[in-house]
Amino acid sequence: MLSDKEHGFEYCILDLPLPVDGYVARLTLTPVTVGDRTLGVWVAEGKMTDQTEADVSDLVANGTFGLAFKVLNDRLAG
């Protein structure tokens, strides 16, 4: 899904290098009215197959999403 109106997209990864089945994620961007900023919300869902949910959540949140937001912020900051 790609939506200009909602400023977001949704995707699934069929072959993920994590113990997760049915991985679906959605990123939405919302303008913040103070300070000329944007709020990015990235949510993922899936069923854990081997590891605990906390382990996989940490890998995705801090590894994948955290790094992606850092790179995006660095590029947009100049």
For the chain, list the domains and their CATH numbers: 2-77 (3.30.530.20)
Q: For residues 9, 12, 16 and 22, what is the CA-based torsion angle, rounded to 10 degrees? A: 140
| pLDDT in the model for residue 26 | 95
The enclosing H or E element of 50 equals none
Q: What is the pTM of this model?
A: 0.74
**For residue range 14-73, what is the model confidence (pLDDT) as tens digits?**
988 888 889 999 999 999 988 878 899 999 998 888 777 788 888 888 888 889 989 988
Q: What is the CA radius of gyration of the chain?
A: 14
| pLDDT in the model for residue 27 | 94
| pLDDT in the model for residue 10 | 97
| pLDDT in the model for residue 8 | 95
Tokens of 65: 């999403």
